[in-house]
Amino acid sequence: MKILVINPNTSESMTDHLRRELDAVKRPTTQLTVVNPDRGPVSIESAYDEAFAVPPTLELVKRAEQDGYEAVVLACFSDPGSRRRASWSRSLSSVSRSRRCTWRRRWGTASRF
């Protein structure tokens, strides 16, 4: 499975930490890419930060679909752009930190990558 994990803030150190932790638990057959946007808030601590993170996060979701990813994981407690992701991508699974998972508008739970 080809999965893109998006850290929706611009913290490279947090993105690197996520990458190391996820690489340690992913299945050998899983292709996992962990990224963060090049613009937006350094951390997401308010409604303003969340709104500021939405446009670059959705751009990464759109690019994931174009690049053939099968799923996107949004690694953020506040789920910036979660309501808008479904309208941007109909073919990707989308998993948020709260473990909600949509697959073409159906809900389920996420397990091991």
Domains and CATH numbers, the chain: 2-109 (3.40.50.12500)
| Exposure on the CB side of residue 27, measured as CA atoms within 13 A | 8
User: Whole-angstrom Cα distance, residue 70 to residue 94?
Assistant: 9
User: Whole-angstrom Cα distance, residue 73 to residue 58?
Assistant: 12
The pLDDT assigned to 77 comes to: 72
The pLDDT assigned to 81 comes to: 63
User: Whole-angstrom Cα distance, residue 25 to residue 100?
Assistant: 19
pTM for this model (two decimals): 0.75
Name residues of the chain where pLDDT drops below 50: 96-113
The pLDDT assigned to 110 comes to: 47
Amino acid sitting at position 20: R
What tokens were used for 60? Answer: 């990464």
The pLDDT assigned to 113 comes to: 46
The pLDDT assigned to 105 comes to: 38
